[in-house]
Amino acid sequence: MGSFVGDYLRARRALVRPEDVGIASGPGWRRVQGLRREELAAVAGLSPEYYTRLEQGQHAQPSAQVLQSLARPLGLDHYGLAHLLRLSRIDSGAERAESTHEKSDNALALSRQLITYFGDTGALVVDNNQDVVLCSPLAASLGQTALRPGVNLLEVVYASWYRLRAPGWLNIAHWSTAALRYHGHPRDPRFRSIVARMKNLGGTDFDRLWARHDVAPFGPVTAGLRLGEARWTLTYVQGLEIHGAPGLHLLVSGPRTDEGTAYLDRPSTEPAPIAA
């Protein structure tokens, strides 16, 4: 087995405090961040030796029952468990990466129909790696011409101009970063190239969010956007996978001018906790 399951377990274990699972941490300094391997193994009902082999990628293929036993102490939600099970399939070779570079004519036709239907909103069609396939005129205008087919949504989100104009920016960054992990395939060359590029472009903000291994599909998220004198509240509704176009997602925002909204005046919030 490869190391994707092990990487995920290590990252999530570091985020769990002993008291979160009923373990008294006691006085003194702990050498590890989060739970120790033997602590997690005990809470999950596994032997320390078995868990160590699992985390080090030395177990051929853990059962779904074993992975499920780890979900609760690791604090994984439904999507986190689904991601862990998927990583096990990827490690074993049962799920392979499919190219996202070539889009079928049928997929593109369906995407164009949807973009036309949502033409009065900020609508995007992106693939699993968040490469923009199609973009409505309003979405392009809100993206200051940076948002267009062929660019990657993460690069736009982490761009300095967007950070400066988007109160609550870190919410959007967390949303897009978690969605890349959830929808992308870690063996896909395009996925790997995006991650490598974002480590340069995104700076420490991307590094911290990426290191958490948070996962979630495209879902509701709200952020403000200031463009000149105008203020917008962008509410991204549930990202919908397009039937008949596997790997493509429709993202629709409902922007409105909203002078004086309390949301825009409150400080940015972070997905807590993010370690310094």
Domain coordinates in residue numbering, the chain:
4-92, 105-265
Rounded distance between C-alpha atoms, residue 38 and residue 25, angstroms? 14
Matching fold, domains 4-92 and 105-265 = no
CATH topology of domain 4-92: 434 Repressor (Amino-terminal Domain) (1.10.260)
CA dist 180 and 196 (Å) reads 13
Question: Which of 1-15, 17-31, 214-228, 243-257 has the largest mean confidence?
Answer: 1-15
pLDDT digits 0-9 by tens, 30-39: 777 799 999 9
Q: Is 101 helix (H, G, I), strand (E, B) or coil?
A: coil
Output the CA–CA distances (angstroms, integers) from residue 76 to 1, 9, 68, in the order listed. Answer: 22, 10, 9
At residue 162, the pLDDT reads 84
CATH topology of domain 105-265: Beta-Lactamase (3.30.450)
The whole model's pTM is what? 0.84
Q: What is the pLDDT of residues 158-169, one digit of tens each?
A: 998 888 888 778
pLDDT at 237 over 60: no
Instruction: Please say if the pLDDT value at position 174 is more than 70.
Output: yes
Beta bridge partners of 131: 152
Distant-in-sequence, close-in-space partners of 160: CB < 8 Å, separation ≥ 6: none
Is the CB of residue 147 less than 8 Å from the CB of residue 156?
yes
Average pLDDT over residues 228-247: 64
Q: List C-alpha distances in Å: 134 to 126, 262, 265.
A: 7, 32, 32
Q: Which of 108-117, 177-186, 223-232, 242-251 has the lowest mean pLDDT?
A: 223-232
